[in-house]
Amino acid sequence: MLERIEIGSSPPAEDCAQVGSEDYVVRARRECRAYIGQLRRALRPEPDGVRLAIQSNPHDFGTYLSVVCHYDPGVAAAIDYAFRCESDGPQEWDDAARAELNLNPGSRPDSERS
């Protein structure tokens, strides 16, 4: 049976779409896809026994989306990758993610612009 680690919906130093905001699901899904792509660029694609995915989670203000790392606890490389996603993942959007999210350097995500 696979275990999982919740990674978050965006790099920790970045703003992200807020539950309950207009078009939250669309924006959050875009951010999660960009984050998965960035994790793969930063840490390499998942090894056997690992799958990065977007997960829906219940919250008092509605459902929120986050990136999770499903991993096989019987595969050492899978365990290592999963914990690297959590500890060594990017802190900010890289250029490719910024382009995917239509961000300029130093700007906030589309989801947080007024």
pLDDT tens column, 58-113: 888 789 999 999 999 999 999 999 999 999 999 999 999 999 999 976 555 544 44
pLDDT at 61: 78
Nearest residue to 27 (alpha-carbon basis) of 86, 100, 111, 112: 111
Cβ(30)–Cβ(37) under 8 Å? Answer: no
More confident residue, 105 or 2: 2
pLDDT at 109: 53
- pLDDT averaged over every residue in the chain: 92
Cβ(87)–Cβ(106) under 8 Å? Answer: no
Residue located via tokens 């875009």 = 30
**pLDDT over 60 (residue 44):** yes
Mean pLDDT, to the nearest integer, of 32-48?
A: 97
